[in-house]
Amino acid sequence: MGQRKYLIIFLIGYFFLFFGNFVFAEQKKQKVYVIPVTGTVEPGMAAYVKRALEDIKNETDAVFVFKLDTFGGRVDAALDIVDAISNIPKGKTIAFVEKRAISAGALIALSSNVLVMKDNTIIGDCAPIIQTKEGQKMAGEKVQTVLRARFRALAKKNNYPVVLAESMVTIDMEVYEVIMNDQKSYMDKKAYDDLTEKEKKTITSKKTIVSKGELLTMDDVEAFDLGFSQKSVKDINQALSLLGYETTHIVTIEESWSESLVRFLQTFLPVLMLIGIGAIYTEIKAPGFGVPGIIGILCLGIVFFNQYLVGLADHTELILLLIGVLLLGVEVFVLPGFGIAGISGLIVIAAGLVLSFQGFVVPDPSFPWEGELLIKNLAQVFGSFIFAFLISLFSLRFILPQFSKIVKGPYLEATLEQSHVDTTKELGLMPGDKGVAHTFLRPSGKVIIGNKKIDAITQGEFIEQGTSVIIDKIEQNHVIVKFIDT
């Protein structure tokens, strides 16, 4: 009986020892969050990265890996991502270049504490580009200065070669690798020229790394040799093993369906805006409220909601959209025609659209690209207004009138073709008679000819109230008029 008791105690102790070791082994696994940063750097990507980090901000012991494959994109979006990464506790961020980290992608990569690159990948060339009448060209010194300072700060913070980091932005920099007093360092031409003759005599080797007129772009081997990358690896698991994370629990944070939809719609926002504005204008010029108005509100609503989700539009822009739609409603239902209410509504909607494409109201002089972005947004919105106006006029004149030939109605089994009064005989009207539009003709309405108020139609064109008209012809008891210039 005593031996059985000791055996039971031994088995229980062994079980708890084994189970405790198992639990401890599970707890020893390092949790690693992988956040893919792929495609164009734009507000949708910034919103996704910030949301991903916000969801796991309380994971104090976790490691965050940013898997990069991007040619770059908007500066403001890249800086938003950089700020989000920089707020993570030191020593917990890894940039893993899956394929490429070019332009804004290089800026994001250097914001992480550690950089590891996959075999045959590239990083660099962060030249700020702007669109001009002559095409794309490099931004001016104001923009370069701000980006240089940001690259310099990130390089100092994360122990990357500062001068080489700056040379990713500045095309006029010439950078040398210098061995002085048996120590290797990097310096630009200005710093080298400032050396005294005594200091220059201690230099045993000088090699040009970045020539003037070039921007630093490195493959994975060069990035390792120059002190950026830790090493070239085959995959992300090897990268984690290299950094000492042998036992890991990897969690990949993918975009939600809504974030994927938002990023997909970014490309089509100008088209949606054009359709929305054109449909709204068509609705104003057409009688009543119908399909064009619904399409216009829907398209503009998608634009605003998309920008709201990426964090560029807030309640201010949504209120402007609502006010604009209400003013247009007054124009359509209360004050027919196209006057102060309609124009005011379009201006308010335009202001809301401009603000929804940027994260500021007044450009900050310390961020030169904000002024350029404002000009671009103004040109895009008002260009869409003009283009939509022209398309709407074309549709009203040539397309919409054709629908009556395709879909005719209402239908009757028996017609009333013989049951009419001859307008020519009874009213004494003849082609060439002149008068004035008593109501809006869209395309039907009433005109006054010879002190007689009669029903008339146009051949598809819309004629404003009070406009001079002339009888073009009379067909099947229909008085067809057209505009005349008095």
Instruction: State in words which class domain 28-142+151-156+219-257 has.
Output: alpha beta
Query: Can you give 318-367 as a three-state secondary structure string?
Result: HHHHHHHHHHHHHHHHHCCCCCHHHHHHHHHHHHHHHHHCCCCCCCCCCC
The rounded distance, in Å, linking the Cα atoms of 246 and 307 is 41
CA distances for 149 relative to 103, 162, 172, 367, angstroms: 15, 10, 16, 12
pLDDT tens track for 331-359: 767 765 556 877 888 888 888 888 877 77
Q: Cα separations (Å) of 421 from 135, 209, 410, 433?
A: 66, 94, 21, 19
Higher pLDDT among residues 161 and 373, named by residue: 161
Question: Hey, where are the domains in the chain?
Answer: 28-142+151-156+219-257, 268-406, 423-483
Contacts for 141 with CB less than 8 Å, ≥ 6 apart: none
- pLDDT at residue 3 in the model: 56
Residue with more model confidence, 282 or 86: 86
Compare 253 and 306 and report the one with higher pLDDT. 253
What backbone torsions phi and psi does residue 18 show, to the nearest 5 degrees? -65, -45
Task: Please name which of 111, 118, 44 lies closest in space to residue 84, comparing C-alpha atoms.
Answer: 111
Q: How many residues does the chain have?
A: 486
Question: pLDDT tens for residues 445-477?
Answer: 888 888 888 888 888 788 888 888 888 888 877
Considering only CA atoms, give the Rg of the chain.
35
The Cα–Cα gap between 199 and 335 comes to: 83
Query: What would the pLDDT profile of 206-252 be if each residue is shown by its tens digit?
Result: 999 999 888 999 999 999 999 999 999 999 999 999 998 988 888 99
pLDDT of residue 365: 72
With vertex at residue 326, the alpha carbon angle to CA 322 and CA 329, rounded to the nearest 5 degrees, is: 140
- Residue 389 has what pLDDT? 75
pLDDT of residue 20: 44
100 with 123: CB under 8 angstroms?
yes
CA distance 458 to 441: 7
Q: Which pLDDT value is given to residue 411?
A: 47
Degrees (nearest 5) of the Cα angle 458, 462, 464?
110
Q: Is the pLDDT of residue 187 over 80?
A: yes
Report the chain's terminal Cα–Cα distance, integer Å: 124
134 CB burial (10 A radius; 0-12, 13-18, 19+): exposed
Q: Cα–Cα distance between 30 and 248 in angstroms, integer? A: 4
Three-class secondary structure of residue 181 per DSSP? coil
- One-letter identity of residue 7: L
- Among all chains, which residue has been given the structure tokens 């000819």? 449
55: which residues sit within 8 A by CB, 6+ positions away?
253
- Which amino acid is residue 486, in one-letter code? T
Architecture category of domain 423-483 in CATH: Beta Barrel (2.40)
Q: How far is CA 79 from CA 39, 237, 251, in A?
A: 16, 28, 25
56, 253 in Cβ contact below 8 A?
yes
Residue 327 burial (10 A CB sphere; 0-12, 13-18, 19+): buried
DSSP letter string over 117-167?
Answer: EETT-EEE----EEEETTEEEE--HHHHHHHHHHHHHHHHHHT--HHHHHT
How far apart are the C-alpha atoms of 380 and 390, rounded to whole Å?
Answer: 15
Answer whether the bond into residue 443 is a cis peptide, omega within 30°: yes
SS3 content of the chain, % helix, strand, coil (to 5): 50, 20, 30
CB atoms within 10 A of CB 291: 11
Q: What is the pTM of this model?
A: 0.65
Q: What is the DSSP letter of 254?
A: P
Mean pLDDT of 27-53: 87
Phi, psi of 64 (to 5 degrees): -115, 120
In tens, the pLDDT along 388-427 reads 777 777 766 666 555 555 555 554 444 544 444 455 556 6
Whole-angstrom CA distances from 236 to 45, 102, 117, 213, 365 are 21, 19, 9, 35, 41
Asked whether the beta carbons of 146 and 169 are under 8 A apart, the reply is: no
Asked which of 53-62, 76-85, 114-123, 170-179 is least confident by mean pLDDT, the reply is 53-62
pLDDT of residue 396: 62
**Residue 176 CB: number of other CB atoms within 10 A?**
19
